[in-house]
Structure 1
Amino acid sequence: MGNTQQSMREPPRNSRKNEEDSSFTCVICIEALPQNKKFKNKKRCVHPFCLDCIAKYIEVKVEDHLTEVKCPGLNCKKLLDPLSCRSILSPQLFEKWCDVLCDSAVLKFDRVYCPFTDCSSLILNECKDNIRRTKCPNCKNFFCFNCKRPWHAGFHCSENGELRDRNDILFAKLVERKRWTRCPSCNYCVELLKGCLVVKCRYVAFLLLHVLILLKL
């Protein structure tokens, strides 16, 4: 009878063992928690953290504008996967984390805003080349990536401010359409009709290579 009462008071050893196996201890809050409260870092690392601690940890890092949030495990260099963390974060915090990641990606490239007042779209130079003539993908207007002004065909960036009236703008478009080249010495326009690519400017006897100068304009 005594043995029967004792067995009713104490759970079976196998039951206690299964309960221990189904729990874990969070290394941040040092609480014993069930397995369904354990954070899973999408096959990157298996350090035992609870969902609440990881969520608070990420919030602190995002508030500090850190894009790469590393696992809080000692000496662990694995990164936390944003998609794996989405379900444990508030929509506002996850959106802010995404904004921080986007801002970090943008800062890696040269960037300008479209100079046209009715547009102002952000444009990135992802090819890392020294570009000038740029077409805005939003408003479809052309502008100079270098001086951040509307495209000034036939004029250097330093001369762009000298465009005073509609005739100057029309002439600049004519220079571009005719593929004329401006002499770097006297600024007169030169047209190559035929023959050698090396052109001699008749005004100052300045030799220039038509194709190379054309590419620089």
Structure 2
Amino acid sequence: MIQFEGCPHSFCSTCTAKHVEYKLQQNIALVSCPAEDCNNVIQPAGSLRRMMKSDVVARWEEAITASMILDSQKIHCPYEDCSEMLVNDVEEGVVVKESECPSCRRLFCAQCRVRWHQGFDCEGFAKLNRKRKDKEELRLLARENRWKECPNCVNLSSAMNVVEVE
């Protein structure tokens, strides 16, 4: 049996470990005592810690740490295969753009939170991305509708003159 600091309730260590795992699966970091109407928060310490799998304890500690960081300070690495959570701890008024993810070691722009855009400011890069997106949407629309390029035009994306094929 295990008793939690700050409340009089006692529970089986194995059941409590399962309770914590269940709460973590629900994305609840601050796990309260399993007793009904008890709001005492359980800490990953002591005998409970020894009863739990090490990866669950690590996930729990990471979730507790993340819950203490303001959402406005959280940044995620923009690379889909990484997505590491980072903390923006830069003083107000200081502009940091080029940043390196400590996990995957790739560069990203901390200002607009996208992959690093060498040679472009954030606004210019956003406009460039919109133009690329528009071109891709036009190509997809043309492919879906089986449009072909007008023989008088050099290329579909610059002239945008298309002829519908029946």
TM-score (structure 2 length as normaliser): 0.51
Tell me by how many angstroms 1:156 deviates.
Answer: 4.7
Equivalent residue number for residue 122 of structure 2? 157
Amino acid corresponding to residue 26 of structure 2 in structure 1: D
Verify: 1:111 aligned to 2:75, yes or no.
yes
Look up the equivalent residue of 1:67 and give its one-letter code: A
Alignment of 1:80-95 (within 5 A): 80-84=42-46, 85-95=48-58
Q: Partners of 1:140 and 1:61 in 2: how far apart?
A: 33
User: How much does 1:63 deviate?
Assistant: 1.9
Is 1:98 the counterpart of 2:61? The answer is yes
| SS of structure 1 residue aligned to 2:49 | helix
Query: Quick one: higher RCO (CA 8 Å, sep 6+), 1 or 2?
Result: 2
1: CA distance, partners of 2:36 / 2:19: 14
What are the Cα deviations for residues 116-155 of structure 1, in whole angstroms up to 9, with x where unaligned? xxx99764213473653345365697x6422343466xx7
Question: In the alignment, residue 113 of structure 1 is paired with which amino acid?
Answer: C
Name the amino acid aligned to 1:145: A
What are structure 2's unaligned runs of at least 5 residues? 129-166
SS of alignment partner, residue 136 of structure 1? strand
For residue 78 of structure 1, the aligned residue among 40, 49, 54 is 40
Shift in Å, 1:110: 3.6
Gaps of 5+ in 1: 1-37, 164-217
Q: How many residues align?
A: 119
Question: How big is each residue's C-alpha offset from its partner over 1:62-115, in whole Å with a ceiling of 9 and x where there is no partner?
Answer: 222210100122322110011232012122332332343355456722415378
The 2-side partners of 1:156 and 1:49 are apart by 57
Q: What is the CA-CA distance between 1:61 and the residue it aligns to?
A: 1.2
Q: Distance in 1 between matches of 2:83 and 2:52?
A: 33
Partner of 2:31: 69
What aligned pairs does 1:27-42 form with structure 2 within 5 A after superposition?
38-41=1-4
